[in-house]
Structure 1
Amino acid sequence: MPQFPHRILLAVDGSQEATMAMHHVLDLHGYTQTEVHVVHVGLVSGWTNPRTLNQDQLDRLRQEAQHVLDDQVHQMEEAGLTPTMTYVRLGRATDEILRLRDEIDADLIVLGSRGLNTFQRVLLGSDAEGVVRHAPCPVLVVRRDK
């Protein structure tokens, strides 16, 4: 029998779609009083960064990712919700979101999607598509109407 989620994982990237996803989480939280965990993944991969990154570069990426996360959390707090926990991860977004989902045992993943066309998805991949395809729990993908 389906239940309301007890633990939501919200993945943010600073985009308008991530803000829209956050508003959906705010609505869900208002009805269910769930735990809300928020993650931002700073992209680090062999494909986009072919050279080995030194510690200074990793620190810079981590600081940039933390800034994006802090901005989103600030918006949430202004709307009346303080997240249960926040996380900065570095790596491939799909992998890190799913790994964190397993660590915290989230019942629902919420994320925004920019709605890439087929060509863009083939070249860049789609984090939302990867999460939906591999997540062991429900996923809410929020998209802006075009």
Structure 2
Amino acid sequence: MDYKKVMVPLDGSDNSELAFNRAMEFVSEPGTSLYLVHVIDTMPLVGNYGVVSGDLFYDLSERAREYLTQMKEKAEKLGAKNVSIHVRFGNPKTVIAKDFVDEYHIDLIVIGSTGLNAVERILVGSVAEYVNRHAKVDVMIIKK
């Protein structure tokens, strides 16, 4: 199957960068677009701090943008032609599995598996697991 719009959620982890490397296999063809996405989870911020200053959100988004810019440059060096970066706020599970997919008509998500232990998986579940179950497009989960 030819994938034209490939999304790679990146969080700076080794597994997300493995997913990035694997996605490069799909995006060297002309007409293929690569979407590098970082989602800043707002729930832990609000839950832990109550009211959160705009400066914190700005700092987090700037750091994410710098990281994604580095990854975009790497993708272009590896032959990707149409690379865009996106920083979003919200629940990573729904932003990746639904919101971004619908907005940009993504047809493949390449995502790294998470390093959750058994208890964490039971309590919160992994983002990759949620995306795999709820996305309406093909999902490739890359394991270490």
Do they superpose with TM above 0.5?
yes
Matched, 1:107 2:111: no
**Equivalent-residue separation in structure 2 for 1:48 and 1:143 (angstroms):** 28
Would the alpha carbon gap of residues 48 and 62 (structure 1) be closer, same or farther in structure 2, given more than 3 Å must change? same
Count of residue pairs the alignment pairs up:
141
* Alignment-mate amino acid for residue 109 of structure 2: I
* Aligned-pair CA distance for 1:83: 4.1
Structure 1 window deviating more from structure 2 (21-30 vs 95-104): it is 21-30
List runs of 5+ in structure 2 lacking aligned partners.
none
Tell me the C-alpha RMSD between the 2 structures: 2.0
**Equivalent-residue separation in structure 1 for 2:105 and 2:71 (angstroms):** 22
Map residues 42-81 of structure 1 onto 2, 5 A cutoff. 42-45=40-43, 47-50=44-47, 51-81=50-80
* Length-normalised TM-score, structure 2: 0.85
**Equivalent-residue separation in structure 1 for 2:142 and 2:5 (angstroms):** 18
Matched, 1:94 2:90: no
* Alignment-mate amino acid for residue 46 of structure 2: N
The residue aligned with 1:40 is 38
**Equivalent-residue separation in structure 2 for 1:17 and 1:23 (angstroms):** 10
SS at match of 1:36: strand
Cα deviation per residue 1:55-101 (whole Å; 9 max; x = unaligned)? 21221221122233223223223323244321101121111112111
* Length-normalised TM-score, structure 1: 0.84
Structure 1 window deviating more from structure 2 (7-16 vs 31-40): it is 31-40
Q: Which aligned segments of 4 or more residues in structure 1 are displaced greater than 3 angstroms? A: 30-33
Cα deviation per residue 1:111-130 (whole Å; 9 max; x = unaligned)? 11134232121344311011
SS at match of 1:114: coil
List runs of 5+ in structure 1 lacking aligned partners.
none
